[in-house]
Amino acid sequence: MSIIPASVSRFFHRTASSPHFYALADKFIPWLIVLFLLLLIPGLYGGLVMAPADYQQGDSYRIIYIHVPAAWMSLFIYVLMAIMGGIALIWHMKLAEVMLISSAPIGAGFTFIALVTGSLWGKPMWGTWWVWDARLTSELILLFLYLGISALYGAIEDKRSAARAVSILALVGVVNIPIIHYSVEWWNTLHQGPTVSKMDKPSIHISMLIPLLLMAGAFKVYYAIAVLQTAKLELLKREATAQWVKNLLENKA
């Protein structure tokens, strides 16, 4: 603990206490929803209506507005989970454990979306639903990583041990992330190389780029909302007998 200033540590301790977090989540969620809609609606309008059709791909490229943000999220959430796993292991922070395990189903959801939308995009573009190239296959493996984390957590009855186990697994599994990300550069594949994420000079038109970035933002906010909801459930499950839950129930009744 000594490497962290006392004030920061106190803040974490307070936020990390379950009832405080539970109340805080309730407070934040409405604002997050507003922000989500502010990003989503212009994003969808810009992407589906305003942006011109691609000169090569026609309208099918509009799948990009969900495929790419979802694929990004699938990687981003896993990295976040690994970080939270590290925090949970080093500082024994319960809240990090809860956030980690709550992220798994959402990450799996985004991975699934990336796979399905990619497949649906691949049919008109490449003429096939699926090719066994490095990026596609490794994204499929990422789905298994997410499912493995959820399965391991479910299999261990003592939830404290389960959270430790999952933290270790999340940290170890993070080695696959660079493989997925760089697969297009390491192996020549059918899949698009980095077009958007080359930040210095994105090779995509600005009218297509802006909705894409809006959608990416919307998905991030969505993640925040969903993970808070799931974390609330997880906290309740883990601390069903705690005093603060009893108080909560009494206030409701």
Partner 1 sequence: MEHTNPAELAVVDLACGRDDRLLFSGLSFGLRPGQVLLLEGSNGSGKTTLLRTLCGFREADEGEIRWCGQLLEESSYYADMAYVGHAEGIKKELTVLENLRFALALSQPGHYGIDEALQKVQLAGYDDNPVHTLSAGQKRRLSLARLLITHNILWILDEPFTSLDRQGIDLIETLIDAHVKQGGMVILTSHHDLSLHHIGLQRIHLDSCL
Partner 2 sequence: MSLTQAFLAIIRRDLLLAFRRRAEMANPLLFFVMVVTLFPLAVGAQPNLLQAMAPGVIWVSALLAALLSLDSLFRSDFDDGSLEQLLLSPHSLPVLVLGKIVAHWLVTGLPLLLVAPLLALFLGLPERAMPTLWLTLLLATPMLSLIGAIGVALTVGLRRGGMLLSLLVLPLYIPVLIFASSAVDRAASGLPVTAQINILLAMLLLALVLTPLPTAAALKMSVN
Partner 3 sequence: MTLESFLHMGGYAFYVWTSYGITTAVLLWNLFAPIVQRKQLLRQLALKQKRAQR
Q: Which residues bind partner 2 (CB under 8 A)?
A: 89, 129-134, 137-138, 140-142, 144-145, 147-148, 150-152, 154-156, 158, 161, 164-165, 168-169, 171-173, 175-176, 179, 189
| 58: β partners | 54
Q: Give the integer Cα–Cα distance in Å for 195 and 66.
A: 15
Q: Which does 209 bind (CB under 5 to 8 A by kind): partner 2, partner 3, partner 1, none?
A: none
Among 42, 105, 148, 217, binds partner 3 (CB under 8 A): 105
Helices and strands in the chain, H and E counts? 9, 0
Task: Indicate whether 119 belongs to the interface with ligand HEM (CB under 6 A).
Answer: yes
Of 245, 214, 226, which is closest to residue 29 (Cα–Cα)? Answer: 226
Asked whether 164 and 92 are in contact (CB, 8 A), the reply is no
To partner 2, the closest distance from the beta carbon of 174 in angstroms equals 11
Q: Which does 158 bind (CB under 5 to 8 A by kind): partner 1, partner 3, ligand HEM, none?
A: partner 1
DSSP 189-240: -SS--SSSS-TTS-SS-HHHHHHHHHHHHHHHHHHHHHHHHHHHHHHHHHTT
Provide the mask over 222-251, with x wherever binding to partner 3 is found by CB under 8 A and - wherever it is not. x--xx--xx-xx--xx--x----xx-xx--
Among 77, 136, 162, 208, binds ligand HEM (CB under 6 A): 136
| 54: β partners | 58
* Touching ligand HEM, residues 227-246 (CB under 6 A): none
Asked whether 48 and 214 are in contact (CB, 8 A), the reply is no
**Per-residue CA distances from 122 to 46, 127, 185, 187 (Å):** 23, 7, 19, 18
Among 13, 30, 41, 59, binds partner 3 (CB under 8 A): 59
Task: Indicate whether 155 belongs to the interface with partner 1 (CB under 8 A).
Answer: no
- List of residues contacting partner 1 (CB under 8 A): 157-158, 160, 239-241
- List of residues contacting ligand HEM (CB under 6 A): 64, 67-68, 71-72, 75, 114-115, 118-119, 121-122, 125, 135-136, 139, 180-181, 191-192, 194-197
